[in-house]
Amino acid sequence: MLAKRIIPCLDVRDGRVVKGVNFEGIREVGDPVECAAEYNKQGADEIVFYDITASHEGRGVMLDVVRETAKRVFVPLTVGGGIKTVDDIRDTLRAGADKVSVNSQAVKNPQLIKDGADIFGSQCICVGIDAKKTPAGNWTVYINGGRIDMGIDLLDWVKEIERLGAGEICLNSIDTDGVKGGFDLPMLKAVVDAVSIPVIASGGAGKLGDFAEAFQKTDCSAALAASLFHFKELTVQQVKDDCRAKGIIVR
Amino acid sequence: MIAIVDYGAGNIFSVKNALDYLGLDSRLTDAAAEIEAADEVILPGVGAFPAAMKMLESKGLVPVLQAQAKKKPLLGICLGMQMLLEKSYEFEECEGLGLIGGTVERIDAPGLIIPHMGWNKLEMGIDCPILKGLPEESYVYFVHSFAAKNCDKSLAAWVEYGGKVPAMVYDGGNVFGAQFHPEKSGEVGLQILKNFGGLV
């Protein structure tokens, strides 16, 4: 059977790793290539770079980071943030990424998912989603780093992106992101049950047991965290040991 | 020198990066002369079988690879592994290189997600020199929707995914095929590439 994946995410701005809490109060935490190499050593199953650079020049810097990382890290690399066109996808994959994660642009232009999947294969198109609970009890999809509510129902959106050929979903809960109270299990379960492509849980991991809990209570395929690993509160290895002790298959 | 066959399919740079990291001399090439001069050959590949075979044919590399496989170690990776087999049924029936007995068919795993994507644990079959020295629990990274079938005699390793999915095929001589991506399989994958590089 496939192992459940533990994925550290590195937020990168202008070629440096940064970390924000609830998308604000950004602080710098280091060199992305070194951070990726360290996670690789800890047993990360995949590494995600999330590029929060706004400028066009910054994209070139990000591709350099990917190129350098690909020379030293031999697990799958995913790059998200700022990917707007098929050419962006191509450039990112050519630099050495195995997958791209498209987020806001997929909402604005869903055809990008279909074109990307048709040209490069579904396996390299991950769709990142930021979603938040509404007073009515459902969830809606946000763009631009969680700032703009598109009013699109989350479960409608995940079915649509599966239909368009996405290979994977990375689901971030705005409600739990940065709060460290655990993943948003009701949202996660609803999405996992709505689609048959793999779902990565994101946003909210705060302690060791949160990862195993996500795998025990939902059929998510992977769990992602950023600050927890950055600030060395936990290592990837500790998380895997905890999962293994609870009977969850990990590498 | 290891020739990495560059026929226009897939992310070949990650294979090159891994060999560079291991200090194994390699070259990306689509030239018959370079493949013939190499000590070993790696045939990578991502994408669809018929398109990849057509690209090999258009470069005149099918007879070159078939001849070189008799003389030196050849490692097919992912689609490159599938092309070592006799025939594929991806989109249409299509002849492969025929270096390993068997066919390529869609993975039949009811209730499981296709593509088979992620880390899965190797179970060992026939003795294979490039699988030496691996930890007892060795996980490797897969991304594929089609898989080898009817290749029991050459089955050096498999993984469990709705049944036995071939992970490594070996003809007992020079020809090796990895369905997984050793260049993306962490330390285990690097060890396999190092073993391959150490064959000559």
User: What CATH number has the domain bearing residue B141?
Assistant: 3.40.50.880
Residue among A3, A98, A123 whose CB faces B139 most closely? A3
- Per the structure block, which two tokens stand in for A68? 């350098």
For the segment B72-85, what is each residue's pLDDT rounded down to a tens digit? Answer: 999 999 999 999 99
Helix H or strand E segment including B119: strand B116-121
User: Looking at the predicted structure, is the pLDDT value of residue A20 above 70?
Assistant: no
| CB-CB under 8 Å, A70 with B14 | yes
Rounded to the nearest integer, the mean pLDDT of chain B is: 95
Closest Cα in chain A, distance from residue B107 (Å): 14
Distance, CA of A22 to CA of A146 (rounded, Å): 9
pTM of the model: 0.93
- Say if CB B122 and CB B138 are below 8 A apart: yes
Out of B36, B40, B183, B187, the active site residue is B183
User: For residue A56, what pLDDT band results from cuts at 50, 70 and 90?
Assistant: low
What integer best gives the mean pLDDT of chain A? 92
Question: What is the structure's pLDDT at A27?
Answer: 62
Residue A220: φ, ψ to 5°: -65, 150
Closest Cα in chain B to A3: B119
Interface of B with A (CB under 8 A): 11, 13-14, 17-18, 20-21, 46-47, 113, 115-121, 139, 141, 143, 160-161, 183-186, 189-190
At residue A23, does pLDDT exceed 50?
no
Q: Around A90, how many Cα atoms within 13 Å sit in the side-chain half-sphere?
A: 6
pLDDT (0 to 100) of residue B8:
76
Give tens-digit pLDDT for A107-119. Answer: 999 999 999 998 8
Catalytic residue among B78, B94, B128, B151: B78
Above 80 in pLDDT, residue A51? Answer: yes
Cα(B127)–Cα(B157) distance, rounded to whole angstroms?
A: 9
Q: How many CA atoms lie within 13 A of B78 on its CB side?
A: 27
Q: Which residue range is the domain that position B151 belongs to?
A: 2-197
Residues of A in Cβ contact (< 8 Å) with B186: 40, 43, 74-75, 251
Please give the single-letter amino acid code of residue B181. Answer: H
- Altogether, the residues listed in chain B come to a count of 200
- The helix-helix angle for A185-194 and A154-164 (nearest 10°) equals 40
* pLDDT value at residue A52: 84
**Please, what are the domains in chain A?**
5-245 (3.20.20.70)
Instruction: Indicate yes or no: CB of A122 within 8 angstroms of CB of B120.
Output: no
